[in-house]
Amino acid sequence: MSCIEEIIAIAEKEFENKFQLFKKYTFSVSKAQKKGIKEIEKPGVYVYCKAGKIIKIGKSNSNARKRANEHIVENTTSKDGKLEMKYLLSDNEAIILFLIVEDDSKIHWIIALEDYLEHNFKAKIPSIRRC
Q: What is the pLDDT of residues 67-118, one digit of tens each?
A: 999 999 999 999 999 999 999 999 999 999 999 999 999 999 999 999 999 9
Asked whether the beta carbons of 83 and 125 are under 8 A apart, the reply is yes
* Band of pLDDT at residue 131, cut at 50, 70 and 90: very low
* Band of pLDDT at residue 128, cut at 50, 70 and 90: confident
Report the half-sphere exposure of 92 (CA within 13 A, side-chain side).
Answer: 0
Cα separation, 107 vs 112, whole angstroms? 10
Kindly provide the residue ranges of all beta strands, DSSP E only, lying in 32-75, ordered along the sequence.
Answer: 44-50, 53-60
**Residues sharing a CB contact under 8 Å with residue 123, sequence separation 6 or more, in sequence order:** 47, 48, 54, 55, 56, 57
pTM score, whole prediction: 0.95
For 32-68, the pLDDT digits (tens) are 999 999 999 999 999 999 999 999 999 999 999 999 9
Kindly provide the residue ranges of all beta strands, DSSP E only, lying in 61-105, ordered along the sequence.
Answer: 94-101
| Domain residue limits, the chain | 3-130
The dihedral built from the CA positions of residue 122, 21, 68 and 108, taken in this order, carries a sign that is: negative
CATH topology of domain 3-130: GIY-YIG endonuclease (3.40.1440)
For 11-40, the pLDDT digits (tens) are 999 999 999 999 999 999 999 999 999 999
